[in-house]
């Protein structure tokens, strides 16, 4: 993973790759940064 990428794993084990979290809108970025 790169410096700005995020890998999210949900409770079912499904993985979601966000290649560049800087491209997210402000609301989504706040949600992701809460967990990072």
d(C-alpha 26, C-alpha 28), whole Å: 6
Q: Closest Cα partner for 17 from 25, 8, 26?
A: 8
**21 in Cβ contact with 32 (< 8 Å):** yes
Q: Which pLDDT belongs to residue 33?
A: 86
Per-residue pLDDT at 16? 94
**pLDDT per residue of the chain (36 residues) written in tens, 0 to 9:** 788 899 999 999 999 999 998 899 999 999 888 877
pLDDT at 32: 86
What is the model's pLDDT at position 3? 87
State the pLDDT at residue 13: 96
Spans of all domains in the chain: 6-35
């Amino acid at each position: 993973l790169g410096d700005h990428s995020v890998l999210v794993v949900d409770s079912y084990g499904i993985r979601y790759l966000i290649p560049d979290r800087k491209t997210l809108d402000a609301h989504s970025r706040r949600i992701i940064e809460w967990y990072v």
